A and B are shown apart, each in its own frame.
Chain A
Amino acid sequence: MSSVIRSREFLLAIIIAVSFFIYFPYFIESPKPITDIESWLVSTTVVIASFAVMVSLYTMTRREVMRVTKRVKGWPYSLLMIGLAWFMIIVGVTLGKDAVAFRFCADSFILPGDATIYAILVFYMTSAAARTFKVRDLESLLLLLGAFFVLMQQAPLGEYLFPWFGPIGSWLVNNLAMAASRVFTISATLGGIVLAIRLLAGKEMAMVGLIARREKD
């Protein structure tokens, strides 16, 4: 039985079946039994995503324990990370997400720390603006001009002092940036459709590790 489950053909059959039930009803009006299976599969991914959290916890713990035991550079941070992560898990699972200790850790460490790291960006941005945004060639000049007009349009003071910059900034955002962004979106979508066709044809094997196994074989 286990050899059947681990066989390439079985995994391939699952990929083709799942791809069919997910992609087909998205693009083509399908009968209810097919859309029901689609719904079930999508709901199942939510359960799988929950289990994925446990897998990530396991791999994180394993990696950090190895760093500590091998005393690699910065190992005390690994120790701190394991301690804090497991403290949050134990408190959260045993006392619940509304427990005072859990909320205290979240409100006093995680949230301010997370917000601080993001807020620090403003300091780096200003010093980076002076040190790195230099007009070395035509391309960088165009990039800087674009940034200048958009900044002027975004800042209320810029719009107030130089109202004629607003339309230029809007034109850049709504035309040039939009065109580039749509190229990206359309390319990604076409890539998605190609992936769907490859999955349905059984050509996309990397996602189940079959390519790695083939190389090993």
Chain B
Amino acid sequence: MSNLFKIFASIDRRVWHLLTFILVGTTLLRPIGLPLKVSPEVKKAYEVIDSLKSGDVVLINFDIAAFGWDEIKGSALSMVPHIFSKEGVKVIFFTDQDQGYIFIERTIAEIGRPMPGYDRFPWYEIHGKKYLQDYINIGFIPGFDKAIAALAQDFRGTVGRNDWYGNNIEKWLDDNGIKSAKDIDLILTLDCAGAQSYWVSYWYIPYKTRILNAMIGVSAPGSIVNYNAGMLEGIVISIRGAAEYQYLSKYYGMALVSMDAFSIIQFMLIIAILIGNIGYYGWERRQEKR
């Protein structure tokens, strides 16, 4: 018996790495299709987007860097097309991360297609919405929290005259009545670096702008606090939330598929902790006492 405890206490880390690789790989390649319960906060986020009316202006912030893209893309690829599916809704893409514009383009390329006669960005059509008619991309503004604050203080001045690609957007902004932050009806912030707290500080508190937030797992605690305080209308947490949103919106994707791997790896974590503790009490602790 003590041999077994000794084995448990001294399992090589590479064994855990190999087990992780095999379990995640297998469940990703052959999903089991485990049942999924939709949480109230994701349902709320879905309902907010679903209730958008013609003429509403939505600002989508890509607070996304490469490290978090795989975790947040399930939310991006279901929430963004859901917004675009609402008739008459106008959209402004923005990013507070230097890599963010890459992920805006990746999202657009995934959910849209080039407009007739065009073959490059920004001339893409998403759910019938055309660039510079229904949506624009103002791209990256440096400063992170300062950029978010500056947009709230002086939206037109911070955005400037041109979009990310150098096209004049003044007419588009004028035509859609966007003069200041007060004219933005909804913000969706897809967070890898916890930008939601700045949107709350600079947009929700002074203007009561409605904010939805999808985020990677490590940013969840801050978002849950603001959601429970009523400052975020809805939150979509990590891949689990994205899977729930994909299920609700019927924009099925990798988040739903990876839910099985997500479950398996969380069970493996629990088993690893159990095995580690059995080894500790059966072998290591006894050795320490001797």
Contact = CB atoms under 8 A, between A and B. Distances in A.
Interface of A: 38-40, 42-43, 45-46, 49-50, 53, 97-98, 106-107, 110-115, 117-119, 122-123, 125-127, 129-135, 144, 147-148, 151-152, 154-160, 173-174, 177-178, 181-182, 185
B42 interface: no
Given A46-B141, A134-B280, A173-B224, A158 B263 contact: yes
A45 B272 contact: no
A186 B254 CA distance: 38
B20 A42 contact: no
Q: Which of A42, A106, A125, A144 has the most CB of B within 10 A?
A: A42
Contacts of A131: 13, 276
B35 A46 contact: no
Most buried by B among A40, A122, A152, A159: A122
B77 interface: no
A13 B270 CA distance: 57
Contacts of A50: 142-143
B102 A144 contact: no
Contact of B34 (A45, A126, A144, A156): A156
A127 to B, nearest CB: 4
B273 A115 contact: no
B263 A130 contact: no
Contacts of B4: none
Interface stretch (B49-57, B83-91, B127-135, B153-161): B153-161
Contacts of B69: 111, 115
A181 B265 contact: no
A109 to B, nearest CB: 10
Contact of A134 (B35, B99, B225, B276): B276
B263 A127 contact: no
B222 A118 contact: no
B267 A134 contact: no
B265 A130 contact: no
A126 B150 contact: no
Given A46-B158, A129-B276, A155-B266, A115 B149 contact: no
A185 B224 CA distance: 12
Interface of A is mostly: helix
A78 to B, nearest CB: 22
Given A131-B276, A156-B35, A156-B262, A45 B153 contact: no
A164 B267 CA distance: 16
Interface in B68-118: 68-70, 99, 101-102
Contacts of A151: 266, 269-270
Interface string B262-290: 11111111101101110111000000000
Contacts of B280: 134-135
B34 A119 contact: no
A117 B272 CA distance: 22
A57 to B, nearest CB: 13
Contact of A178 (B142, B225, B281): B225
A45 B102 CA distance: 24
Contacts of B168: none
Contacts of A157: 34, 260, 263-264, 266-267
Interface in B13-33: 13, 16-17, 19-21, 24
Contact of A114 (B24, B35, B67): B67
Contact of A123 (B16, B266, B277): B16
Given A130-B11, A135-B281, 11 more contacts: A40-B154, A43-B158, A46-B142, A113-B66, A126-B17, A129-B273, A134-B276, A154-B266, A156-B36, A177-B221, A178-B228
Contacts of B193: none
A16 to B, nearest CB: 20
B146 interface: yes
B41 to A, nearest CB: 11
A148 B274 CA distance: 10
